[in-house]
Amino acid sequence: MLLALSSPMVRRTLLLAAVVLAGTLSFFAVRFAAAEYFSSLDTLAGFEEAVRLEPGNARHWHLLGRYWQFGLDQQDFPRAIELYRHSLLLDPRAPAVWLDLASAYETQGDLSSARSALLSAKKSHPVSAEVAWHYGNFLLRQGEMDSAFAEIHRSLESDPSRTAEAVSVCWSANPDSQVLLGQVLPSSPVVYLAALQVLAADGAVDASLDVWNRLAALHPHFPLQEASPFLDLLLRTAHGTEAAQVWKQALEFAEIPDPGGPSGSVLWDGGFESNVRNGLSWRIQEDKGVQIGYDGAVKHSGRQSLRIHFDGSRNLGFSGVCQVVPVTPLTAYQFSGWMRTETITSDRGIFVALSSRDSPSVSTPELRATEPWTPWTLSWQAGKDSRIAQICVSRAPSQKFDNKIAGTAWLDDLALVPLPAAPSPEKVRP
């Protein structure tokens, strides 16, 4: 055998075969590369040239069909359908082609053929989230609600990233939270959180509460800011009791400990210990001419206080530190806290105001110049419809010539404590 292979005739034959094989491979490689290049041009001429060079490549027929279906300059749906069908002859399991074919049929009003194409896609890819999503939306457009919701549910089980869009379309079709939770949404924290964002943005308070309760039952873990849009909705719509409960649960899910404070106080983190912002904590909005932060060196108690520094560049009307607080209607409260100032200039100082829409507001005396830690205690009565109050650290703009404010103020140990109800007067017997 070695002698046969070493003969000149065999060597020449092997060399010739290698050259032919290399040439053939090079030819097909060049043709494939050329077809890919023309296809990448994203033009009609490019797609047609790609099909001519690689007529056995199903992808090029698919792309040419998409050009005729979705082209901006011209559209020809029958031609697109013909090209899709040719692509499927070459690759009958391609789900994207079946989906585009179904879309083209539906656009032409041929719903039977569209349904058939979608079922073919499902048969080829029974667990595809993409196929289930498109089929579910098709059924939704046909008014087949239960079947549509079942398909969309299957899609979300595999691909929860579609939850926001799913909630939007399903809620528009049937704004019933029990249907949404029972038929559409899989039981998953990721899914419930995404649904909550959509419903909160839509202002659907009751539906959002239903989703939150399902979420809370799973005892999930997620960052506190995930609950912010929902909390903002509850506060905006004066659902104070619900907001307080959601806030308590959200802190637990985010594994944020209670910062402590006076027993019974409904004001959260009045000592500024947690560094948590927004929700039912402090909402801090900085402006030009003022810097707001925490100070561990100057404090009334605990680890730190709130520090507000004015740089003397502006005559500020300031309300940049606020907290929205759930309150109980017709309840009396004691509002207390401590403030300190250092070299506050101008005739208008720093004060803290407590207000609600249907209740008279109260505010502390203004502190200016330099004052040591100074306490305040105020009484406040919630009105009959008061469920939300707001506490703000403020400064009113000065009306005088030398009006730019400079200096620093500190606040610590704020509390808003409900007072015991006054006993009812005993009836006097005649």
Domains and CATH numbers, the chain: 283-418 (2.60.120.260)
Give me the residues of the chain with pLDDT under 70, please: 1-32, 34-35, 38, 422-430
Q: Is 297 exposed, middle or buried (0-12, 13-18, 19+ CB in 10 A)?
A: exposed
Is residue 205 a contact partner of residue 220, using CB atoms and an 8 Å limit?
no
What's the number of CA atoms in the CB half-sphere (13 Å) around residue 207? Answer: 25
Long-range contact set of residues 39-48: C-beta below 8 Å, sequence gap at least 24 = 39/63, 44/71
Query: Model pTM?
Result: 0.84
What's the number of CA atoms in the CB half-sphere (13 Å) around residue 62? Answer: 18
Residues 6 or more apart whose Cβ sits within 8 Å of residue 130: 95, 96, 99, 155, 159
CA distance 306 to 321: 10
- Here the tokens at position 175 are 């704004």
CA distance 185 to 116: 26
CA distance 336 to 264: 13
Helices (H), 159-277: 163-173, 177-179, 189-201, 205-217, 228-236, 240-253
Is residue 227 a contact partner of residue 246, using CB atoms and an 8 Å limit?
yes
Q: Considering just the CA atoms, what is the radius of gyration of the chain in Å?
A: 35
- Here the tokens at position 150 are 């079942």
3-state helix, strand, coil in the chain (%, to 5): 45, 20, 35
- Here the tokens at position 58 are 């199903």
Residue whose token pair is 């089980």: 157
> What are the backbone angles phi and psi of residue 290, rounded to the nearest 5°?
-145, 140
The whole-number pLDDT of residue 16 equals 58
- Here the tokens at position 292 are 């707001």
The whole-number pLDDT of residue 22 equals 44
Residue whose token pair is 């659902």: 239
The whole-number pLDDT of residue 353 equals 98
Residues 6 or more apart whose Cβ sits within 8 Å of residue 423: none
CA distance 388 to 418: 14
Is residue 375 a contact partner of residue 264, using CB atoms and an 8 Å limit?
no
The whole-number pLDDT of residue 139 equals 98
Name the nearest CA neighbour of 211 among 185, 234, 175, 183: 185
List the Cα angle 288/292/296 in 5-degree steps: 155
The distance between the two most distant Cα atoms of the chain, rounded to a whole number of Å, is 139
CA distance 287 to 311: 11
Q: Name the residue type at position 339.
A: M
How far are the Cα atoms of 241, 299, 337, 381 from residue 353, in angstroms, in the given order?
Answer: 22, 21, 12, 14
CA trace torsion 24, 25, 31, 34 (10° rounding): -150
CA distance 230 to 239: 11
**Beta bridge mates, 395:** 318
Report DSSP letters for 387-409, one per residue: -EEEEEEEEPPP-SSS---EEEE
CA–centroid distance for 125 within its chain: 31
Residue whose token pair is 């960052």: 223
Type and span of the H or E element at 376: strand 369-381
